[in-house]
Each structure stands twice: as structure tokens, then as C-alpha cells.
Amino acid sequence: MKCQILHECRGRIRVHILNGEMTLHQADILEYYLRSKPFTERVKVYDRTGDAVVWYCGDRSLVIKALARFSYNDKQAAALVPEHTGRELDRDFEEKLSGMIIKRTVRRLLLPRPVRFVLSVLHALKYVREALASLAKGRLEVSVLDATAITVSLIRREQKTAASVMFMLGLGELLEDWTRRKSIDELAGVMSLGVEKVWLRKDGTDVLVRVKEIREGDEVVVRTGSMIPLDGVITEGEAAINQSSLTGESLPVHKSAGSYVYAGTVIEDGSCVIRVDKVSGSGKYDRIVKMIEESEKLKSQAESKASHLADKLVPFCLGGTLLTYLLTRNATKAISILMVDFSCALKLAMPISVISAMRECGQHGITVKGGKFLEAVSEADTVVFDKTGTLTHSTPRVAKIVTFGKISEEEALRLAACLEEHFPHSIANAVVEEAKQRGLDHEERHSTVEYVVAHGISSTIDGKKAVIGSYHFVFEDEGCTVPKREQKKFDSLPDGYSHLYLAVGGKLTAVICIEDPLRDEAREVIGRLKALGIGKAVMMTGDSERTARSVAAAVGVDDLHYEVLPEDKAAFIKEEHRLGRRVIMVGDGVNDSPALSESDAGIAISSGAAIAREIADITISAEDLYCLLTLKEISDGLMKRISANYRTIIGFNALLMLSGAAGIITPTVSAFLHNSSTLAIALASMRNYLPGESEKKNK
């Protein structure tokens, strides 16, 4: 690709693509291609001018070489572009906005006054119809106030005032529609599938392949805790499937052979083989958009309050207008009050404040599914942490393998990896990764695998029952025993590690010691959360008392619960609710799902199980826990901004009403100041909540 360097400075270069006019799709291909490069920090592509600005680190020659190799016809580059990028939506908004401004300017400059008056009357019919529809339903809403103001202005032959009011109302509607569609587009994008590899059943064997290699008619195997990657029909097995992302249903739906399942839903329990019906994404984006549009999740209580308050104030505005006219017999003063309403600002500024907060969270690696969850984080006084993968790193490693009986260390690890590779958990990943590092081939030797949530895995190997999991599962539930004459070795297992027990044929075969390093920032983050208003920090884990107390002391939590089951975590949160406390839960595993669902705001780690991310209301980056501080600060900032907006909107508009009633300002000035203040507050609501901090850019 030929390009011309327009400007450059240290770490930044602006180039012009010498390839004719750039389409929206071509701009997306170039932007996502450059984002994918490791040296790129940020990219902005301007399709109108054909320019690209690249912020980079390292040698500038890397950027030049990447641009030289680029081609719009590169299929790998095109594959990087998501289904919806938002560029087309932004362009549509820009064209509508500029069209509104140009149309209004042309009318005022070129059309004679009588023609402008007729056009204003025709335009006003829309608002009159809306008002009549509201009255017909027995409701006195803002539409009645708008129609009254416009109609009275036209009756008084004040065409400019009426046109200005209608223009500002139309602009408000356009802004509100764009912000709503933009938020839905962004949310749908982050809620879209993140599945990269799937288990393909081929000639009776399960093979791990990239999801892009799947074709219609292929059969894929999906097990507990995993996301269904593509639409299809179950041919074997049965499962309880969480479909909340598509239907909003809170309870899992039982599916068996012959049932149709959808991409993006998650298996809570069971496993099944699915014959793929569609491989093109299955319209999941469109279904997510529909679900969000119909869901109240996007609205916080503050947003709902603003919307209802705007309608409740309508009778007072009309009453004030009538009272002013009766007392003063001055129509101009009465209309000045009528030109002011609280609707535009309240209904526009509040959603924009929430969407701005959600967008800023996204810049810091935080995905929020709705405004009410930011409100919950701000008001929360209890935070509950899972241990493994949350307070500890999501990538633990195998530190030591202690074998029992005649099995070798390599064979024990091979068997463990063969069982664990099917399930999404950080401990399972550690076992599989260790086998990979040692070059051990762990081809399938077992029959059907059964995953017991928060306990372990059960299967059959060479005709013998094999189990792997916690002490409680292996020894108490399954009744396995330690081989004779090896009790001393068992009693001397090294402390400080999480233990994963493997038993075959009812006898302990190996104990895999997992090094689960504590996150360096965990103690600092918990301390700072308390400083930000969180009164109680709790750690809940299925680990033994010894390991749990060691971690709890290191991170500084106020309360500790160990050897707990998933239902225990959810029960604890229910009890906190009974005591009147608001709770946020932070976790990453299948066993955290009930608690994530029960909490006021469930926060999942992005590297965790698919079902945890699906059920959670918020997802944070797996890199560190500082995202929690950012989330809390943005949430607190949002609630402060909403409160400030309330005070400003109510106070300023009340002042305009009093000024109009006193004859200090005319109706035209009243309308101008009201509409100007509405736009000013809306624009101010778009500001970032963390001033002075550099934004984290997604590559």
C-alpha cells in the first residue's frame, strides 16, 4: 500500500493513503489491521480524508513496513474487523445533524416569511398529534407542554420562536436516538462471542480447532461452563442452558437431542454434541440488540427517576403558565414560562451521563451491561471476592507432582491433563499447560466426562473410574483411599499450595500441587476500596482453612469463609441483603455463577469461565485488580454528576420561569436560554469522569 507521510513526531505519525477514495469498510480494515500490531498503542483512521494517525512505541520503521505490506484485499486483515464497528452509525448521525442545520439555515436565508410560517405549521402537526395521543390516554406528559408552546407561538404569529423550539426538540431527539443506538451497538459488540476454539467431533475423536474452521454440518462438543459457539441442533446428550443473554430468562432451559440451541448461550450443567446449522455468526448481534432494547438493564434508578420527574413536572409548568396569565393578564409573560420545561435536559443529560460512564469504563478494559450496575457499585458497602483466579493470578502453575502407587509423574500428569483440558478453569488450564510444557501427549483415553461444579471431574479410564478434584470430592464424596504404607507421604504434602487430587479405581494416584501466586496489587486494591466507601471486604473460597487463612491475612479482608460450595456464596449474599447491605461479587469460575447472579452487581474476570462472564453484570480485565478502583471511581463520579445535573436543571429552569413571569425575559429569550442550557448540560455530561488520566485504548 502506497502512502504519504504528512506529519510525524516522536511516537506518532500521520499518513495519507494514496489509493483513491476510502470507503467506511476499508477504513475499518486499515484501523483494525494497525491495531493488531504489537507496537501500536492507538490508531485513528479518517475515511473522509483517507488519513491514518498511528501512536506507536519502538522503531518507526515497524509502522512503515506494516503500512507497506497492507492491502484492502488481505483476508486476514479483513477478518480482524468485527461485525459492527460503529463507524457507519457515527456517519449516519453526522449526516442527519448536518442536514438539520443546513435545512434550517437555508429556510431562514432563502424562503420568504409566509412560506416559513406555513412550513412551521405543517411541522407543528407532528407535535400536536403526539399531544392529542397523550391526552387520549388520560396522561398529561411533556408532549402536551411542547405542543402547547408551539401552538401558542404560532397563534401569536411568532414563527421564529416556534421554529426554534421545534428545531431544539428535533435536535434533542436526534441526540437521544444516537446515544441510545450507540450504547446498544457498543454493548452488543462486547457481548458478542469471544469463542476462538471449539471441540470438533471427527471420526469419533474430539479435536480442538479454531471456530473459523467449522462448517455447516460439523458436530461440536460443548460441556459444562462453556459457551455454545454456533447455532445448531443437539444430536447427543442433554444440558441445562442459560439463555439469559438472548431471552432474559433467569432460569436455565433443559435441552436434549433434537432441541435447537443458539450461539452465545452457556451450558450450566451437562454436555452435548451439536450439529452446526449456521456458521455466519447466526444473527447473534441482532438478537442481542433486540434483547437490550427490550431490557430495563440499561436504565439506572436515577435515569428512570429523571424520566418520570420530567412528566410529573408538566402539570406544574402548565399551572404556572395559567396562573401567571390570570394574575398579570399578560400573554407574553405566560408564554415565557411555557417555553421552559424540564423534559429535554432531564431526559437527555441523564442517559448521556450513564453512557459516557459506560464508554469510559470500556476504555479502561471494563465492560458494563447497564447503568443500574454502575449505580449499584457506587452504593455498595460489601464486596465479596473469590480467591482462585481473582485475588490470585488467573494463570497458576504446577509446582510439584506427588505420586502414589506405581504410576510415574509423567503418566499422572498425562491423565490429569486428559481430564482437565475440557473445562474452563484456571487450575485446569495450569495442568494442561504443564503437560504441554513437558511435551506430554494426552490423547483421549477416557469415556464421557462429567463435571461436578465446585468439586471436580469424573470419568472412566481403561475400565476404571477416575476422579480429579478437591479433597472433599475425591475422599468424602467418592470414597477414595490413600494406598497402604503411603499415609506418611500423604501427611507430609507441602503446605502453601493448592492441592488437586487424582484417583483411579478408588485409590489415590497423585496429588498435583498448584502454585497459586497472590496478585501483588490485591492488598492495595482492597485497602483503597475501603477508602472509597466499601465498608466490608469478604473472601470466600472452596480451599482448605490453612490455605484460605494465609491468603486472607495477606490481602487484608475483614471476613473469611473457606471450604464453601457455590450455594454457600449465594446464601451469604442473600443474608447481607436481608441486613440491608448492597453487595458486589467478584469472581471468575463456574462455581461463582450463583453468587454473581445474586449480587447487586456481579463482576467477572475476563479470563474466567464463559458462564461467569455471561451471568455477570460487569466484566473487568484479567491484567490486574486496579480496574476495580477505576470502576468504583467512575461509578461514584456518575452519581455525583447526576446529582449535580438535577440541581442545575431544576434550579436554572426555575430561574427562567420566574424571570419570564416577572417580565425580565421575553418568550424568545426564554426558549433560547432553555434550549442552550439543555445542550450545554448534555455536552458537559459527555466529559470523562477521570480527568488527567490517560485512556486505555483497545487494540
Q: How far is CA 432 from CA 41, 441, 567, in A?
A: 32, 10, 28
- In this predicted model, what pLDDT tens digit does every residue of 325-373 receive, in sequence order? 888 877 777 777 766 766 667 767 777 788 788 878 877 888 887 788 9
Q: What residue ranges define each of the domains in the chain, with the CATH number in brackets?
A: 3-81 (3.30.70.100), 92-188+299-353+636-684 (no CATH), 197-280 (2.70.150.10), 366-393+518-620 (3.40.50.1000), 397-515 (3.40.1110.10)
User: Within 10 A of 613 (CB to CB), how many other CB atoms are there?
Assistant: 24
User: Where residue 693 falls among pLDDT bands split at 50, 70, 90?
Assistant: very low
Percent share of the chain, pLDDT over 70: 86
Beta carbons within 10 angstroms of residue 565's beta carbon: 15
Quick one: pLDDT at residue 403? 94
Predicted local distance difference test score (pLDDT) of residue 508? 95
- Determine the pLDDT at residue 457: 87
> Is the per-residue pLDDT at 506 higher than 90?
yes
What is the structure's pLDDT at 510?
95
State mean pLDDT over 406-435.
85
The answer to whether residue 580 scores a pLDDT higher than 90 is yes
Question: 332-336, 429-433, 690-694: which range is least confident on average?
Answer: 690-694
Q: Closest Cα to residue 516, out of 557, 548, 560? A: 548
- 447 — pLDDT class (breaks 50, 70, 90): low
239-289 pLDDT, tens per residue? 888 776 555 555 678 899 999 988 778 887 788 999 988 765 444 555 555
* Backbone phi and psi for residue 374, each to the nearest 5 degrees, phi listed first: -65, -40
Determine which helix (DSSP H) or strand (DSSP E) holds 127, and give its type and residue range: helix 113-136
Confidence of residue 310 (pLDDT cuts 50, 70, 90): low
What's the rounded Cα separation, in Å, for the pair 591 and 492? 29
CA distance 408 to 403: 7
Rg (CA), the chain: 30
DSSP structure class, residue 698 = P
Higher pLDDT, residue 54 or 36: 54
Distance between CA atoms of residues 511 and 617, nearest Å: 36
Look up cell 483512521; give the residue.
45
Percent of the chain residues past pLDDT 90, beyond the cut:
26
The full DSSP string for 373-402 is HHHHHHH--EEEEEIIIIIB-SS-EEEEEE
Q: C-alpha grid cell for residue 121?
A: 405549521
Q: Which residues are within 8 A (CB) of 198 and not within 5 positions of it... i.e. 6 or more apart?
A: 208, 209, 210, 211, 214, 220, 221, 222, 229
Confirm if 222 and 199 have CB atoms less than 8 A apart.
yes
| pLDDT recorded at residue 698 | 40
Cell numbers describing residue 630: 477505576
Question: What's the chain's average pLDDT?
Answer: 82
What pLDDT, on the 0 to 100 scale, is given for residue 627?
A: 92
Over range 660-674, report the average pLDDT. 78
Question: Cα–Cα distances in Å, from 182 out to 92, 278, 300?
Answer: 11, 27, 17
Contact yes or no for 198/220 (Cβ under 8 A): yes
Q: What's the per-residue H, E or C state across 218-276?
A: CEEEEECCCECCCCEEEEEEEEEEECHHHHCCCCCEEECCCCEECCCCEEEEEEEEEEE
pLDDT tens digit sequence for 144-202: 877 887 887 788 787 887 887 788 778 767 876 776 677 666 655 555 545 567 888 98
Confidence band, pLDDT 50/70/90 cuts, at residue 45:
very high
Q: Residue 696 has what pLDDT?
A: 41
**CB of 653 within 8 A of CB of 676?**
no
Residue that wins the pLDDT comparison between 569 and 623: 569
Q: Which residues pair with 232 in a beta bridge?
A: 261, 276
73-101 pLDDT, tens per residue?
887 777 777 666 778 888 888 888 889 88
Cα separation, 451 vs 449, in Å, equals 7
Spatial separation of the C-alpha atoms in residues 360 and 686, rounded to whole Å: 10
pLDDT band at 404 (very low <50, low <70, confident <90, very high): very high
